[in-house]
Structure 1
Amino acid sequence: MFTRIFSAALWGIESIPVEVETDVSPGLPSTRVVGLPDAAVKESLHRVSSSLKNCGFSLPLGKLTINLAPADLKKEGPIFDLPIALGILQASGQVGSSEESADCWAIGELALSGKIRGIKGILPFVAKAKEKKARKVILPKENALEAQIIPGVVTCPVEDLKEAVQAWTSAPQKPLAASPCFEPAKSALEKDFSEVKGQESVKRAIEIAVSGFHNLLLIGPPGGGKSMLAQRIPTIFPPLSLEEAIEVTNIHSAAGKIKPGEGLITARPFRCPHHSSTEAGIIGGGNPPRPGEASLAHHGVLFLDELPEFRRNALEALRQPLEEGKITLCRAKFSVQFPARFMLVAAMNPSPSGRAQDYQAGRCSFAQTQKYLNKVSGPLLDRIDLHIEVPKPDPKLLMEKKQAESSASIAQRIMEARAIQHRRFKDISLLLTNGKMGPKEIERFCTLSSSASRLLSQALEDLGLSARAYGKILKVSRTISDLAGKEKIEEEAILEAISYRTLDRQYWT
C-alpha cells in the first residue's frame, strides 16, 4: 500500500516542502530510505522501529520503501521521524486513512519510547504549511508556543506517537484567528546608563547612533568603558514591533536558538561573538546553510569587541550586510539569502599595547601600531557612520555618588526622534530610520541651509572624504536635526556629524 505525508526540510531560514512517500509491498523483509538522506535520516528507521513497538504498533513485514521528495534536495536531521512513522502505520493498515488525514503536515523527532522531542525551525515550517493551505499541522508539544505565532493554522501539539496518531485521524479544530497578545519586552540585560559616570560626549554619540540606527566605532585605551557602554545600548533601543519580532523569531528558530517552551522573541537581539569566530560563524554558511551572528542580530545590535582581533575575511564579509541589510551566500550547489539589518557596534584599542602614544614611549613601534590598525580595512571603516574616541574617565567623576542620566530618559528622546522618522518614511516600504536611507532619500530629505552646505563642501575638500562618507555625514546630521526637532539641517548639525568622521584620518594616516 502507498501513502503520502507532507513535511518540510529547513533550508537557510525557510522551509522547503518534502513529501514523505511510504510503500509496503510483498517480498523479502527489507527497508530502504531514498531521496538524498543524511546519516541522521537513515538512522531514523531504528528510532521509528523502537517507538512503534513501545507504543503498541509493529514494523510491517515485507518490502518497505520510504522516499523523501524532491530527491535532489539533501535531507538532514531527525525531523522526519514522525512523518515516517505515520506513513508506515498508514501504509501497513494499522491506521486507517480518512479525509481528516489528507493534506496534513507532520514533523518531529521520536525517542525510542515513542515520546516526541522538540526540534528547531518550527516557525518557518508552520509558515510554509499555512502558505500551502495545510488542513492541520502535527508537531512536538515543546514547540507549541512557537507554532502559535502564525495565525490561521490548525496546530496539533503532541507529546508522543499515540497522541500523534489520534491527532492524525481526528477532525481538525478551528485555527487561531490572530497571533497571541504581543507585549514588547525590555532588554534582558539588567544594566543602565546611569551606572556610567562621565563620558558624556560618548553617550551623546551613542544616542545619535541608536536614534538613526547608525553604525558605531568606539576607539580608546583599556579601562575607558567601551564594553560597558556598548552593553547598555539595548536598554535605550525602541521596542520591537510585532512584524520585527516575528522576523527575529523566524531566524532564531531556524538557527535552533529558541529553547523548548519559548515562543515569540520580544526583546531586541544583542549578539557579541568572540573574536575567534570564523567567517561562516559571522555571516552564516554550511550545507545546508545556517544563519550566522549577523543574521541573529537582525533588528538589533552586533557588538564586535576587540575589532582588529577578528579574522580579516570575517570582517570584510560584513561589507554587504552593512550596505544592503542582507547576506547572499552563493555556492556551487545553492544560493541562499539571510536578512541582516543590524546596528554594528565595534570597539578597539588605538594600538597593540592599548594607548595611542605608546610607540613614543617605546612600548611598541610605530610600524607595529600601523600593522595593528590596518587589520581594519578602509572600506569597512567607511561603512561605519560614527567614529568615537573613548578616553579614560576622570577619576574625580568615578568617586562621585551622583548618578548619571538613566537609560529611560535617553530612550524617551530616541523614541521622539524615531517617531519623526516614521512619519517621514511612512510612504517608503522597508525604510524606518535615517541610517538606512539610500541616495534618493538623502537627496529628498536632507535639506541643508546655505551655511551648512558651504561648510560641508569645504570639509569634503579639506578632509578628502569619499562619496560614501559624504552620505554618512548627511544621514547622521539628519538624525542630529531630528533630535533637536529641526526640519532643515543647520550648520551645527553638520559640524557635529563631521566631528564623528575624523578619527579614521587621525589613526589610519
Structure 2
Amino acid sequence: MLANVYSAGLIGLNACLFSVQVDECNGLPRSIIVGNVSPSVREGLERAIIALKNNGFDLPPKKITINIQPADVRKNGTSFDFAILAGMFIATNVKENPYQNYAFLGELGLDGEIKHIPGVLPMTLAMEEAGIEGVFVGKEDEKEALHCKKLKIIALSCVREWIKILYPFLIKKPSLNSLEMKLKGSRKIEVKKSCISQNQTKKICMGFPLSAKDNKVQKEIADFSDIAGQEAGIRACVIAAAGMHAMLFSGPAGSGKSMLARRIPGILPKLSEEEKLEVSKIYSIAGDLSGEEGLLQERPFRAPHTAISQNTLLGGMVGGNLVPGELALATKGVLFLDELPLFRKETIEALRSPLEEKEVVLHRLQQVFSYKVDCILVAAMNPCPCGFFPDRNRCHCTPGQIRAYQRGISKPILERIDISLELPPVALENALGKEKKFSSEELSKQVIEARRRQNERFKAEEYIEWNSQMGPSELEKYCFLGKKEEDFMKKVFALKNLSMRTYHKVLKVARTIADVDGKEDITVEHLAEAVSYRIVEENLY
C-alpha cells in the first residue's frame, strides 16, 4: 500500500513543507529512504523501525521504500522521524489514513517517545500557510505550535498515544469517536502524559521542579535615568533608535559606553504580534525559545564576546542545518559589540556587506542562504589599549601601540557606521549633580513619534521602513535640501574630503534628527549635528 503524510524541515532561516511517501511491496525485506536526505534523516528510519518494534508493531518482511519530496531540496535534521514512522505504520497496518491533511513533527526515541526539535514555530507557520489542517507534535513543542491561529494542534508524549487516537482497534481502548469530536471542536487535544522526557528526568534527578525552564524571570531593562553627565550620548542613542542607525561610541574606560548601549532596548517601541512571531521563529530555529507563552516578549539584546568567530556572528552550519548567528538573533533589537578593536579582523570586516546592504548572504555546503539585517548595531571602543588616552597621567601606551589599536577598525567599516561619537569622562560633580535626568519613558516617546513620521513617509515604499534603509533615489526624494543647506554641505564635503557613502550617511542621520525634533524640512542645524557624528572616523583617519 502507498501511504502519504506530511512533515516539514528547515532551509536556512525558513521552513518548508515536505511530503513523505511510503510504499510497501513484495521483494527482498528491506527499508530504504530516498529523496536527497542527510545522514540524520536516514538514521531516522532506524529510529522509527525500532520505536515501532518496542511498541509491539513489527514490520512485515517486505520491501519498504520511503521518498521525501521535493527531491531536489536537501533534507536535514530529525523533524522527519515521526512522519517516517507514521507513514510506515499506515502503509503496513491499515488500509486508509483518516487524517490525510495532517502533518507530523518530532524526533523519536527508541522507546517511541516524541522529543523536542528546533524550529517548530516556523515549521507550523509554513504548514498553516500551505493549507495543512492539523499537526501532531511532541508535548514539549506544544506552546510554540499553538501560536498558529488556524492549525489544529495535537500534542503527544509518545507514539503509542498517536496509535490510540487514530487506530484504537489495534489497541483495545475504544476512544476514537470521543477524541474525534474533541479534535473537530478544538485546536488542542489534552492527552494524558504517559512518558517522561529525558530533560524532565534530568530535572527530577537534580532536584529541580519540572517547570523550572518556564519560570525564568526576565531581567528588568535598565533605565536611562541612571546615567548622568552624558547628554550627547543619550541624544545619539535616541537618534540611532529612531532611524535604526549603526552607532559607535569611543571614550575612556568608565565613560558609560556600555551603560548607554544596554539601555537602548528600553526606548524602542514594544514588539508587535508580527514582530514577536518573526523574532521567535529565529530563536526557535536556534533552539533557544522558552517561556510560558512560547514567544519572546522583549526586544533582544545580544552582546557576544570578543573571541566570537565570523561563523558565529553571521551564521554557520551544524549537522547540515543553518544555525542563526548573533546578527540574526538580534533581529528587532540591539547587537552590542563591546571593545570592537579586540574582535578578530575578519569578524569585523565581515560586517561590511550587512551594514551596507542590510542583508546577509551565506554560501554554505553548496547552498545559498540569506536573511535581512534588522537590528541596531552598537559598538564601543577605548581610545587606547589601557583605555585612558589622552590622559597621560594614567595612560602609558606608546604612540605606536595606540595607533595599532585604533587601526584595528578599518576606514571602510567606519564609513558604514552612521553615528560615531566620542564620550568624555564623567566628572564627579556631574554624577552627583541634581540636574534633571532623562527617563527611558520620556525618550521612548520621542522615538515612537519619529518612527510614526517615517511610517507615514515610506508607506508607498515596499522595502523601506526606516531612514537608514534609504538608497540614493529615496535620498533624493525624501531628503530635499534648500539653497542654504546645499551650500553648507558643499563646504563640508570639500573641507572634510567626504566620500559619497559618508555624504549619504550624513543625509540619512540628518533626516532622522529632523524627525526626532518634529520638523518636516532638514535644516543646517540638523546637517551640522549629523556631520558632528563623524568625529571618530575623522580622528582615526
Deviations 1:443-475 (A, max 9, x none): 122233433322221111101111111111111
2:399 to 366, 369, 381: 366
- The AA in structure 1 aligned to 2:117 is I
Structure-1 separation of matches of 2:140 and 2:463: 33
Q: What root-mean-square deviation, in Å, do the aligned CA atoms of Structure 1 and Structure 2 show?
A: 2.6
Map residues 13-92 of structure 1 onto 2, 5 A cutoff. Answer: 13-26=13-26, 29-71=29-71, 73-92=73-92
Distance 1:203 1:59 in 2: 68
Q: Which amino acid aligns with 1:4?
A: N
Deviations 1:142-192 (A, max 9, x none): 22232233333233222221333355567563687xxxxxxxxxx954311
One-letter amino acid of the structure 2 residue matched with residue 9 of structure 1: G
> 1:31: how far off?
3.6
Q: Which residue of 2 aligns with 1:97?
A: 96
Letter in 1 for 2:290: K
Equivalents in 2 of 1:139, 1:164: separation in Å?
Answer: 10
Q: 1:106 to 1:209 in 2, by over 3 A?
A: same
In the other structure, the counterpart of 1:173 is 184
| SS in structure 1 at match of 2:121 | helix
Aligned counterpart, 1:117 = 115
- In the other structure, the counterpart of 2:212 is none
Count of aligned pairs: 497
Query: Contact between 1:38 and 1:76, CA under 8 Å: does it hold in 2?
Result: yes
2:311 corresponds to 1:280: yes
**2-side partners of 1:486 and 1:14: how far apart?**
40
SS in 2 for 1:303: strand
Q: Take 2:355 and 2:293, find their aligned partners in 1: how far apart are those partners?
A: 30
> Contact 1:109/1:118 (CA < 8 Å) preserved in 2?
yes
Distance 1:308 1:260, change over 3 A: same
* Counterpart residue number, 1:263: 294
Which segments of 5 or more consecutive residues in structure 1 lack a partner in the other structure?
177-186
Give the Cα separation in 2 of the matches to 1:74 and 1:441. 39
Q: Which residue of 2 is the match for residue 387 of structure 1?
A: 420
2 CA distance for matches of 1:452 and 1:122?
53
Of the structure 1 ranges 460-469 and 353-362, higher mean CA displacement relative to structure 2 is found in 353-362
Deviation at 1:220, TM superposition (A): 0.8
Residue 11 (str. 1) matches residue 44 (str. 2): no
Equivalent residue, structure 2, for 1:160:
158
Question: How many angstroms does 1:27 deviate by?
Answer: 5.2
Is it true that 1:483 corresponds to 2:516 in the alignment?
A: yes
Which blocks of at least 5 consecutive residues in structure 2 are unaligned? 168-175, 188-217
Does the 8 Å CA contact 2:388/2:394 hold for their aligned counterparts?
no
Q: Specify the SS of the correspondent of 1:263.
A: coil
Deviation at 1:10, TM superposition (A): 1.0
Query: Which deviations, in whole Å up to 9, do the C-alpha atoms of 1:407-444 show, x marking residues without a partner?
Result: 11111121122112212222222322222222222112
The partner residue of 1:234 within 265, 268, 274 is: 265
Deviation at 1:210, TM superposition (A): 0.9
1:236 offset after TM fit, Å? 0.5
2:494 counterpart (441, 451, 461): 461
3-state SS of paired residue (2:184): coil
Whether the 8 Å CA contact 2:389–2:395 is kept in 1: the answer is: no
Q: Match of 1:266, SS?
A: coil
Cα shift at 1:384: 0.6
Q: 1:159 to 1:401 in 2, by over 3 A?
A: farther
Deviates more, 1:437-446 or 1:124-133: 124-133
TM-score scaled by length of structure 2: 0.85
Equivalent residue, structure 2, for 1:328: 361
**1:143·1:260 contact (CA, 8 Å) conserved in 2?**
no
The DSSP-based 3-state class of the residue aligned with 2:522 is coil
Distance of 2:538 and 2:185 partners within structure 1? 63
> SS where residue 316 of structure 2 aligns?
coil
Please give the alpha-carbon distance, in whole angstroms, between the structure 2 residues aligned to 1:250 and 1:452: 45
Asked whether the 8 Å contact 2:18–2:70 carries over to 1, the reply is: yes
Is the contact between residue 359 and residue 369 of structure 1 (CA under 8 Å) also seen in structure 2? no
- 253-262 or 373-382: which moved more? 253-262
What SS does the corresponding residue of 1:277 show, helix, strand or coil?
A: coil
Tell me the equivalent position of 1:181: none
Q: For the residues of structure 2 that align with 1:331 and 1:52, how far apart are their CA atoms?
A: 36
Which of 147, 150, 155 lines up with 2:148 in the alignment? 150
Q: 1:359 to 1:372 in 2, by over 3 A?
A: farther
Deviation string for 1:244-293 (max 9, x for gaps)? 22222222222222137652323222111111111111111324333211
CA contact (8 A) 1:189 1:235 kept: no
% of aligned pairs identical?
38
> Could you report, residue by residue, the CA deviation over 1:468-497 in whole angstroms, capped at 9, with x for unpaired residues?
111111111111112222111112111111
**Residue identity in the other structure for 2:507:** L
Q: Call closer, same or farther: CA 1:304–1:175 in 2, change over 3 Å.
A: farther
Q: Provide the C-alpha distance between the structure 2 equivalents of 1:81 and 1:251, rounded to a whole number of angstroms.
A: 22
Partner of 1:414: 447
How far apart are residue 234 of structure 1 and its match?
0.4
Secondary structure of the 1:92 match is helix
Q: Distance in 2 between matches of 1:189 and 1:459?
A: 43
Structure 2 distance, partners of 1:122, 1:257, is 12
